Amino acid sequence: MTSPARKPEHQDELLEYRLSLRLGPVHARQRLGIEREAETRVFGRDRASFHLENLTSAPGFIRFCLRISGLLGRGQANSLRLDTVHNRFLLPDLPASFEGFRILHLTDLHVDMDEANLQAVIRQISSLDYDLCVLTGDYRKETWGPTEPALEGMARLRDAIRGPAYAVLGNHDSVRMVPALEDMGYALLMNEMVPIERSGEHLYLAGVDDPHFYKVHNLHRAGDDIPPGGISLLLSHSPEIWREASHAGYDIFLCGHTHGGQICLPGRIPLTLDADCPRHLGRGYWRANGMQGYTSPGAGTSVVNVRLNCPPEVTIHTLTRGPSQ
């Protein structure tokens, strides 16, 4: 038994009170407490996850190495050349009314990292045709400090997104951002599920809180109300819970986090994915235990605004009926 949240007296308490009403007091206290304890750390609690950007010397060192190698300017230009990638999910039991349903997938935007990149993303999606937008986390540059610059960028992005937009948080995102994001019109899925209805038929869209650094995901809470046989899609910031999700019975898994490596060797071979998962799950389409997944390399950049052999992308997923790939 947990005690109810008391009424707020100060601005910080008002935010915590609102979060306790939105998420429940346990989830709110858990996420806020872990943030206060760990948001500025380089390594996570399990030492397997880390925030390179919290190592203060990292951005300058990487820029120096790229500059002396002659790659800095090229990498910065590459970060603004977004691809629109089209992916198709074949689902044998897809409801007929969802044939051809298109999902715009955005992730790892880090909107306060580089103004030119945010403008490039907005231009890239302006002419796209889609039915629903999903965002799989990492909206701000840092993992700590003020959230206002990222929220301002996310507000501008929301103005450019047509129709419903569902989102989950990543390891760069503070739970303190949730009320403002929802006020903008993003529907945050915090270990929750929402049915998507079309002509009386449904898809079931679930989303979990960050499974990488904060590890506050809860697949049971997110998926327990999905009916047997219902087509289900899971939003997660990171692919690291692929095994749990596949055995939980999800049909589609959409994620980001890895940036595809961001700085890769020729042939798109990543130097690091910063994710505890098989490397083939680090970018693009994959399958696991009957579940289909897609890891987007993201539209933005982290640590340094550079991409090499790893183009940024926005993704259009099209659902169609047919034998699974």
CATH of the domain at 296: 3.60.21.10
pLDDT at residue 237, rounded to an integer = 98
Please tell me whether residue 314 adopts helix, strand or coil conformation.
Answer: strand
Strands 165-168 and 186-188 turn out to be: parallel
Range of the domain at 268: 12-17+25-321
Average pLDDT (274-279) is 91
214 or 201: which carries more pLDDT confidence?
201
Specify if 80 maps to a domain: yes
**Mean pLDDT, rounded, of the chain:** 90
Q: What is the mean pLDDT of residues 200-212?
A: 97
- Cβ burial of 87 (10 Å; 0-12, 13-18, 19+) is middle
User: Mean pLDDT lowest for which of 43-47, 81-85, 95-99, 240-244?
Assistant: 43-47
Write the CB contacts of 49 (distance below 8 Å, at least 6 apart in sequence).
Answer: 43, 171, 212, 213, 274, 276
Please give the model's pTM, rounded to 2 decimal places: 0.90
Q: What is the pLDDT of residue 14?
A: 83
> At 1, is the pLDDT very low, low, confident or very high (cuts 50, 70, 90)?
very low
| pLDDT, position 300 | 96
Q: Over 80: is that where the pLDDT of 215 sits?
A: yes
Q: What is the mean pLDDT of residues 44-66?
A: 65
In this prediction, residues 150-169 reach a mean pLDDT of 98
Task: Give every CB contact of residue 5 below 8 A, 6+ residues apart in sequence.
Answer: 16, 17, 20, 21, 25, 28
- Let me know if residue 6 belongs to a domain: no
Residue 222 falls inside a structural domain: yes
Q: Is residue 29 included in any domain, yes or no?
A: yes
Res 10 pLDDT > 80: no
pLDDT higher than 80, residue 40: no
250 in Cβ contact with 223 (< 8 Å): yes
Task: Among 50-59, 62-71, 145-154, name the one with the lowest average pLDDT.
Answer: 50-59
Residue 234 lies in a domain: yes
224 domain-assigned: yes
Mean pLDDT across 270-290: 93
For the ranges 38-52, 120-134, 161-175, the lowest mean pLDDT is seen at 38-52
Asked if the structure places residue 5 within a domain, the reply is no
Question: Comparing 20-29, 57-66, 233-242, 316-325, which segment has the lowest mean pLDDT?
Answer: 57-66
Q: Do the domain assignments include residue 268?
A: yes
Length of the chain: 325
Q: How many domains does the chain have?
A: 1
Which pLDDT value is given to residue 244? 96
The pLDDT of residue 107 is: 98
Q: Could you read off the pLDDT of 98-157 as tens digits, one per residue?
A: 999 999 999 999 999 999 999 999 999 999 999 999 999 999 999 988 999 999 999 999
pLDDT at 249 over 90: yes
Query: Listing from the earlier edge strand, what are the strands of the sheet with 252-255?
Result: 192-198, 201-207, 232-235, 252-255, 291-295, 284-288
